[in-house]
């Protein structure tokens, strides 16, 4: 028989899962607005036949070297936190881990014995499969690899940066929710044309978070308002 304590525990687990899903939605839209093509919930399958997958990445994203977006004669400026990760001549691949609180790296991506880096590198197909071991070694050691044409970078997204992880992996990129909110506020302040003209309806193709942000943006006066909205959305939903 299920006890009241167990019911409370299960409800808290469900609440945390919902928060995690909303955090991924916010992250996905941020990368989308910065010119990334993305696959959420990228599953890494095992080499041998088995029932369960090895792991998954919250988001796999790729940005091509000449990605641009213009409004009339004005070019949108994408977030330097992302564009600094690769030169304008290199294709940028990201493995993104999303947390509601402290930025972190999932174990399957840092454990060499698991072989998950090799699997995802082979599936992404940006290098000859014979180079997968060498590329994976760089990723396990530094969470970054690059050659003359391609960059593969691990990105941790969360509410707070992880100083311990940064000391272990100096080339890890961490992005916190406040930085994402600041980018969104600046983007729509500079390009209000991207918002609906009446301030009520929003573009049908926008994801749920995008719709919620678009509806509230015109009432935002400063970055702090955007930061509060992003975290409230993750924590409580779009109410």
Beta strand residue intervals within the chain, DSSP E? 37-44, 55-63, 70-71, 74-75, 91-98, 144-146, 150-158, 173-176
pTM for the structure as a whole: 0.89
At residue 57, the pLDDT reads 74
Residues 6 or more apart from 160 whose CB is under 8 A from it? Answer: 101, 102, 103, 176
CA distance 89 to 125: 18
pLDDT in tens, 88-134: 999 999 999 999 999 999 877 788 888 889 999 999 999 999 999 99
Q: How many residues does the chain have?
A: 239
Of the candidates 55, 28, 21, the one whose C-alpha atom is nearest the C-alpha of residue 123 is 55
User: Would you say residue 49 has pLDDT above 70?
Assistant: no
Residues with Cβ within 8 Å of 121's Cβ and at least 6 positions away in sequence, in order, are 127, 132, 135, 136, 139, 152
What is the distance, to the nearest Å, from the Cα of residue 27 to the centroid of all Cα atoms in its chain?
4
Contact 142, 151 (CB under 8 A): no
Overall average pLDDT of the 135-157 stretch: 97
Say how many Å lie between the first and final Cα of the chain, rounded.
34
């Amino acid at each position: 028989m299920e006890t009241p304590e167990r019911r409370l525990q299960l409800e808290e687990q469900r609440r945390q899962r919902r928060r995690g899903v909303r955090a991924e939605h916010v992250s996905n839209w941020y990368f989308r607005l910065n010119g990334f093509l993305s696959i959420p919930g990228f599953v890494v399958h095992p080499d041998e036949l088995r029932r369960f997958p090895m792991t998954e990445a919250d988001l796999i994203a790729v940005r091509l070297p000449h990605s641009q977006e213009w409004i009339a004669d004005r070019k949108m400026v994408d977030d330097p936190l992302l564009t600094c990760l690769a030169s304008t001549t290199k294709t940028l691949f990201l493995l993104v881990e999303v947390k509601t609180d402290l930025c972190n790296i999932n174990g399957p991506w840092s454990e060499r014995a698991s072989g998950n880096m090799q699997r995802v590198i082979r599936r992404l197909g940006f290098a000859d499969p014979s180079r997968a071991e060498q590329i994976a070694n760089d990723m396990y050691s530094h969470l970054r690899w690059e050659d003359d044409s391609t960059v593969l970078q691990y990105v941790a997204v969360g509410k707070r940066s992880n100083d311990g992880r940064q000391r272990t992996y100096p080339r890890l990129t961490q992005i916190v929710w406040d930085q994402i909110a600041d980018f969104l506020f600046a983007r729509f302040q500079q390009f209000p044309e991207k918002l609906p003209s009446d301030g009520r309806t929003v573009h049908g193709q926008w994801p749920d978070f995008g719709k919620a942000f678009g509806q509230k943006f015109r009432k935002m006066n400063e970055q702090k308002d955007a930061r509060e909205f992003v975290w409230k959305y993750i924590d409580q939903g779009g109410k």
